[in-house]
Structure 1
Amino acid sequence: MKGKLPQKLKFQELKHVDLRRNHFEGSLPQGFTNAIYVFLQQNLFSGPIPDNISEMTQLTILDVSKNHLTGMIPSTICTMTALEVLSLRENQFSGQLPHCWGDIQLIRALDIASNNLSGQIPSSIGVLSFLEILSLSSNSLSGEIPSSLQNCKSLQSLDLGDNNLSGTLPLWIGNDSVRLWILLLRSNKLRGPIPKKWCNISTLHILDLAENSVSGVIPSCLGNLNSLTNTKNNWMTRASWDFNEQMIMVTKGREMEYSSTLGLVKIINLSSNNLTGEIPLGITNLTALGTLNLSRNYLTGSIPNEIGNMRWLETLDLSNNQLSGPIPDSISLLHSLSHFNVSHNNLVGRIPVGNQMQTLTDASIFQGNPLLCGKPLQSKCPGSDVGSDVPTMQSPDDDFQSELENLLFYCCGYVFGICGVWCTLWKKDAWGKAYFGFFKLV
């Protein structure tokens, strides 16, 4: 449906309003004084949030995401004390966030992602003890991540990506009282090392720190993240409220939006930072991990031979580092691997063959490693036959000895064959007479 809503509708009598996924336009409808649920997402509504929104004192869910709403978020929204879910996602709200969040004690999901907000994250959000989902990504928020968020004892999902946040990675995220499942801080100005305390987050199954200034080594203890070492889907249990969390993440080489399938996603993305040192062996313990992206850092050393233990990997991106040595043959054990990139490193030797590696036919995923050879590259491995990419490991002396052995084998075969014929003719008189008689006739 499309067009403006009829003014004669008696909105004040409605308890449950669901107008989502239409083409309604104009300003937001008013008068939902007795409404409990209001779903207006994915329409064409424009203009500001009306000031009399404070009259909706019974409202528990307000979803106006994916419209064209503008202006500032009014502080009167904090008077809606029954509110449990507030989604203003994908609009054009500007200005700063209100500082009155402590008045909405029951709120469980707060999603204001993909707007034009600026300023700092209010510390008052930290008093929301029932808050489970906080998404403020894709804005222009600045300053440090407030330490008050550690007081949100129910917080399971924190998405602050694509902002201008600064400071070091917070230590408190690794506190025993924090039970994050999702931590997205990508595309900010965060710095410093990855705290080892973060290895204590046993529930964490999505960690995205890409495109920051994170430095130091990758803690080997990340291999202790329990939720990434087993394939059971222990997705967070929540009350049955009508809200689908949405997140944009980079996997399989492209940006993808996840919502209802978030529980199946297991990602570590540390790409485009200043990480140094080797790929820790401990990270290969994450046998349930689906995406590992360590590209565009300054990692050295070799790819661990145990990489083949990560049997559920679909994406493995180690490109644009300083890795050396061969590509382990155990890579061919990754039967789910569909996106693989080791370009622009210092890798050497034969590209492994077999299983899923046979499907990775794009030569660009290996380019920038001049000492790599084998399919799909055009460079043949030394000693391989024409049309073959499996290198022989023999030295020139071994090749000469092999040719000499072949020559002796054929000579001996020829001599024994002739001797066998003459012995037969000598033993059988009739055959001998017939054979030599043939030559006399000729």
Structure 2
Amino acid sequence: MKIRHLMAVLRTLVLRGLGSGVAVLFTVLVSRYLATADAALFFILFNASVIAAVCFRWGMDEVVIRQVASADVGERERIAVPLVIHTHRRVLCWTVIALLVGVVLWVPSVARRFDLSYFDFVLMVVASSLIACASSAARVLQGEGRIDSATFYLNICVPALALVALVFLSKTISEISARQLMWCYLFAAALMYSRVVLLRYGGDLLRSLSSRRQSGMAASEVAAANRLGAVVLAQQALGWSAVAIVPGFYGDASYSAFVVSQKLATLISLLMLAINFTFSSRFAALHAQERLAELWNLVRLSVVAIALASLFILAGTWLFIGEILDYAHVPLDYGNVVIIMMIGQIGFSIAALFALVLSMCRMEVFLLRAQLTIGMLSIAALLIVCIYSSLNAAVLVFPVSYFALAWILCARIRTLIHEQRATR
């Protein structure tokens, strides 16, 4: 890996780490300054907003990156405009659907059950919509190779602005409510939207929405975005299903240990996220230029980097597993669960890298089929093992599943390279 590529990865890693730090600090201060009930309500709305922002743009991220990155520099602006416009149309449709579904909160019994008013729900949906549209525009920056700017807007901007607003409120009023903080979060989302979208695409958006002309995005790219949106859900299917399956078979203590293991395992994925974020546009450009041999060399180096960093984190966790579990109030007996989950996350990180390469190479049909097949088989296997065996055996499903998926995706990439060589 070239020095400039390594420095780019390190900068992205630092910026993403800064974003994670800001998010953690924001979470801690919310718990500190808000009453328990208001903090719980805000966290529900905040987490729902993060998930909704991803779902509202439904696969457009990868399409924007690969379309912009694979275009000539002079053509990128012309290509980016219809992509941003289409994202707005897509987000608007999901926003309307969400607001209509939320009407059930007008029923007093439903509102009491969820402890949520329709007005708070609207604040969450609008914030999600603004973030979804702004994130799509930030992906244009990523496709153009402006990685640091894209990382700032996607990972740091909104949490940092919300954190500043929370500190300001804590100094000016005695008791902060969840609704006041949601207004601050919405204001932060609006500021990012204004900076990333309106300043660059405001005129084009106004002309498009007022004239009702089509966005110009090809039907094949719309279908690709839909498939990639499903891929994102399929990637998380096993982890989300485990959260529902494990407590039903092993009880609260084992479930707590499992959740701690999941959180610790995410440390493995930090370098993968930095590599994927830094090189996604590069992968798309190399594929468009038919330089697949160079692409494969970059992928191999990325896999080696992920593996080495993962082994270092794994070794550190193993050495200090007693202290880690003691701090988390988890019995030492669950140390094996933590290690197995972290090994599984190594497989997940490598599979995620291969999945990104395939999405940049326009192989989303194969990618979706592979993800769905492995995901469904893994969920079934997890359920069966949970019925008949211990948690230690059940978590083995994770490394087996993720490494199997990584092998399948790697084989498809190698096939692409051999096919290109055969046609020359």
TM bin, normalised by shorter chain, reads: under 0.3
> TM-score w.r.t. structure 2 length?
0.20
> TM-score w.r.t. structure 1 length?
0.19
Which is strand-richer, 1 or 2? 1
Structure possessing the higher relative contact order (Cα contacts under 8 Å, 6 or more residues apart): 2
Larger Rg: 1
